[in-house]
Amino acid sequence: MARKIVQPTGREVFFDRDEIIVSKTDTKGRITYCNDVFLRIAGYTEAELLGEPHSIIRHPDMPRCVFKLLWDAIQAGHEIFAYVKNMTKSGDHYWVLAHVTASLDESGRIVGYHSNRRVPERSAVERIERLYADLKATEDKPANRKEGIAEGEKMLLGLLAGEGISYDAFVFSL
């Protein structure tokens, strides 16, 4: 069955500082577990999410180069922290500070990914929104999506190099 296209509403929803949104995926990014906080905030039932790509909650304002950076890190077995704007089933949005790690089997092979998401600081969201808007505008210029992602990644890595910091250090500086 085809999924309904969800349009952003511009309304933001929030979760409590003491709550953690948790999900697990397989190596292809399909959801294998989601906690009650995730279900409540995203507005989906567990049956609607299990087996679906995690991108089901991707907000169109999110630059794809940030997800490329995230996937490159976790597929290499590294953890990553990132600010992410997600979209609910109804089109509302919510911001998170995500911590994503690889899940390993007993031989150290990656068998999936685990993400804990917390409430971000509002000052960080305000700063990251401006950067993400610039990255998204850069990505949207080329007609070819892959070329756009590459241009966004080039811009992001250039900004980081100009500051002399890694992506992780940048996230923690916000």
Residue 1 has pLDDT above 80, yes or no: no
Structural domains of the chain ordered from first start: 21-162 (3.30.450.20)
Instruction: Give me the amino acid identity at 43.
Output: G
* C-alpha distances in Å from residue 115, one per residue of 12, 105, 146: 21, 17, 25
Residue 148 confidence (pLDDT): 97
Average confidence (pLDDT) over 129-133? 97
Residue 3 confidence (pLDDT): 65
Percent of the chain with pLDDT over 70: 98
Residue 38 confidence (pLDDT): 98
Helices assigned H by DSSP within the chain: 36-42, 46-49, 64-75, 122-140, 145-163, 167-173
Instruction: Give me the amino acid identity at 13.
Output: V
* C-alpha distances in Å from residue 35, one per residue of 21, 27, 115, 173: 7, 19, 11, 29
- Model's pTM, two decimal places? 0.94
> For residue 119, what is the DSSP state?
P
With beta carbons less than 8 A apart as the criterion, state whether 20 and 116 touch. yes
